[in-house]
A and B are shown apart, each in its own frame.
Chain A
């Protein structure tokens, strides 16, 4: 074995993500830079890969190292695993070399027994201890597919094995196939001391982005759940507050959080999405990764990072995928318009597309309105077979109940209608008569008739700026007009041909896309 099987994430792990996993690498990087992160250790991806071939022998061979890792967490927290008076609970998280959000398993609050619950109740409150135990037992049974054993060490061992196994879960396999990721390795496992957003009212959990990942504005963005744990925020089952609420509740902690997010952004040269927990007024960072972003934000953020000197011009262009630019050239609901409109309902995105109109809750009224030439949105509790005639005349469809495979969703997709389903009881009543926009891509209903618009290479300042940069960096300069050979299409094959013919300047209908292709071909 080329590395140790268990590595403390104390800021000196100094191993790459393919050993520590993406998550472990991020934790070690945060520790190295003096940021507040709960103590953690990592079981390497190499062990994860070996586990897939020889489960029992592999876990037996590393178990003493895991126990030694646990002792370091106990020492760092002055708490003890599996017993009081100050019990240590841990989380067990997956961590592939490349982040695979939500694809593999995570188990929280391991280390429970009846005595541990009593000790936690004495430290915090009975409700806190009970709530934490519930957060442990229910997901544990679901993920490990058997009830949690009474012995905390057995809990830990089975959880680690379960996370290793989740590398081969159908959804993880499908995700890697779709993303073109290597299937042959395995996942690293991060074992980390728990911190508790559910311990009292001075606590909570959330996620903060160093800049707005939807609009690309240079402002903090995020969600905050007072009294909650991180899994609540991620699950989307609980209503969360905007991050501004934290600023008014705990201004000092908020400043610390924002400054940490900014410093992580500088360290990684990219906009970060940081999961955090506040336990009784103390900030803890749990995870950081490059923020997922809209196409608009991808362009704006790359230009900002260039302005801020965090990346150079070549890297700026590498941050923009051609599909981002292609998406921007299609009419869509611009994020700044979307975010500025009042959110009236959220549900599951069931039929792609965006549509506006007046909301009707009765099929006959909807048909009459459409006959008058109105744009109609049909809002129903659920749809019955005979609702088809209302769905036909509607531009968008909203339901209160039902999932992404419900009959309403199936029929909406078949008709090509924008649809949001499962918005919850009372939505039909609250929307009736209003002019609304159904966003079937994001699963939202917003107030007003929101206009779609497209960016253009000629008129959108961001794309013009990118094209200027590209003309300095690309081996092939593409222009909208001029006395140069004409490039008919901006495919990589065409671009390669043009360069092979010795052209350095061409005219193209999409100069930016042509140059992005040229940069990809030549790199």
Chain B
């Protein structure tokens, strides 16, 4: 399972440093990483990447994981996620744009109203993650990462809402969305982007 977690994290990040990889996994996995590099599944460098073999290995592990879950339960959790997904993306968009122009963040009332909507989104997505984690325990980590991002936002560090390359609320959400699409055997083309 650890190997799956590491390979999947590298796949979702695309290219990632060892430190950032440890951070997103929540613990050091240097031994596993070294083993995966040695076996040629990960390409080493300033950042780690999946090799074609690593990608193949990951697909196999994911298929194996999928075969052991209750698909109907995962689909139900995915539907729950999808019911809150538009509201989350809309609120991030409202955070970035005000009246169609880039939000200059000079209207504190406006910003506060947008961020208040995130608490509701968080309350709605948490049970969906709990339900899917019952099938795929690996995914419970997404709840932890969303909570961390939310705590940072509440502490006034609003870059944790949408900034790429850190585990901001949007980054984690985007990866969770990708996981759910994979877990239900769908593709994003047939789904919402």
Query: Measuring CB to CB, which residues of chain A are less than 8 angstroms from any residue of chain B?
Result: 178, 352, 363, 381-389, 391-392, 399, 401-411, 413-415, 421
Is B65 an interface residue when CB atoms closer than 8 A count as contact? no
Partner of B164, one of A178, A363, A388: A388
* Measured CA separation A309–B164 after assembly (Å): 55
**B-side contacts of A404, CB under 8 Å:** 93
Q: Which of B158-180 contact A (CB under 8 A)?
A: 162-165, 170-171, 174-175, 177-178
Partner of A385, one of B12, B89, B101: B12
Partner of B86, one of A389, A392, A405: A405
**A-side contacts of B90, CB under 8 Å:** 405
Is B92 an interface residue when CB atoms closer than 8 A count as contact? yes
Q: Which of B89-145 contact A (CB under 8 A)?
A: 89-90, 92-93, 96-97, 99, 101-102
B193:A406 contact, CB within 8 angstroms:
yes
Partner of B93, one of A385, A387, A399, A405: A405
Is B11 an interface residue when CB atoms closer than 8 A count as contact? yes
A363:B188 contact, CB within 8 angstroms:
no
B12:A386 contact, CB within 8 angstroms:
yes
* Measured CA separation A413–B177 after assembly (Å): 19
A410:B163 contact, CB within 8 angstroms:
no
B14:A410 contact, CB within 8 angstroms:
no
Is B27 an interface residue when CB atoms closer than 8 A count as contact? no
B170:A410 contact, CB within 8 angstroms:
yes
Is B18 an interface residue when CB atoms closer than 8 A count as contact? no
Partner of B15, one of A389, A405, A421: A389
Contacts known (A382-B193, A386-B12, A403-B193); A415 close to B164, Cβ less than 8 A: yes
Is B13 an interface residue when CB atoms closer than 8 A count as contact? yes
Beyond known contacts A386-B14, A411-B164: 18 more, CB 8 A cutoff: A178-B99, A352-B102, A382-B193, A388-B164, A389-B14, A401-B193, A402-B192, A403-B193, A405-B90, A405-B92, A406-B192, A410-B96, A410-B170, A411-B174, A413-B102, A414-B162, A414-B164, A421-B193
Query: Measuring CB to CB, which residues of chain B are less than 8 angstroms from any residue of chain A?
Result: 11-15, 86, 89-90, 92-93, 96-97, 99, 101-102, 162-165, 170-171, 174-175, 177-178, 188-189, 192-193
A contacts with B: majority SS: helix
A385:B13 contact, CB within 8 angstroms:
yes
* Measured CA separation A507–B164 after assembly (Å): 47
Selected A-B contacts with CB under 8 Å, 24 pairs: A352-B102, A383-B193, A384-B188, A385-B12, A385-B175, A386-B14, A387-B14, A388-B14, A389-B14, A389-B15, A399-B193, A401-B189, A403-B193, A404-B93, A405-B86, A407-B174, A409-B93, A410-B93, A410-B162, A413-B93, A413-B96, A414-B96, A414-B163, A414-B164
B189:A382 contact, CB within 8 angstroms:
yes
**B-side contacts of A407, CB under 8 Å:** 89, 170, 174, 177, 193
**B-side contacts of A402, CB under 8 Å:** 192-193
Q: How far is the CB of B21 from chain A (nearest CB, A)?
A: 13
* Measured CA separation A389–B89 after assembly (Å): 21
Q: How far is the CB of B134 from chain A (nearest CB, A)?
A: 24
Contacts known (A409-B93, A410-B89, A414-B96); A363 close to B14, Cβ less than 8 A: yes
* Measured CA separation A386–B11 after assembly (Å): 7
**B-side contacts of A386, CB under 8 Å:** 11-15
Q: How far is the CB of A406 from chain B (nearest CB, A)?
A: 4
**B-side contacts of A381, CB under 8 Å:** 189
> Top 6 closest A-B pairs, CB basis?
A402-B193, A386-B14, A405-B89, A382-B193, A406-B193, A405-B93
Nearest-CB residue, chain A, relative to B50: A386
**A-side contacts of B171, CB under 8 Å:** 385
Nearest-CB residue, chain B, relative to A399: B193
* Measured CA separation A142–B188 after assembly (Å): 28
**B-side contacts of A406, CB under 8 Å:** 89, 192-193
Contacts known (A386-B12, A386-B14, A401-B189); A413 close to B89, Cβ less than 8 A: no
* Measured CA separation A383–B189 after assembly (Å): 10
Contacts known (A405-B92, A414-B96); A385 close to B178, Cβ less than 8 A: yes
* Measured CA separation A411–B173 after assembly (Å): 12
* Measured CA separation A385–B16 after assembly (Å): 12
Nearest-CB residue, chain A, relative to B176: A385
Q: How far is the CB of B127 from chain A (nearest CB, A)?
A: 22
* Measured CA separation A405–B102 after assembly (Å): 14
Q: How far is the CB of A128 from chain B (nearest CB, A)?
A: 35
Nearest-CB residue, chain A, relative to B47: A389
Of B164, B177, B193, most A-chain CB atoms within 10 Å:
B193
Of B92, B175, B177, B178, most A-chain CB atoms within 10 Å:
B92
* Measured CA separation A297–B128 after assembly (Å): 52
* Measured CA separation A413–B171 after assembly (Å): 14
B170:A384 contact, CB within 8 angstroms:
no
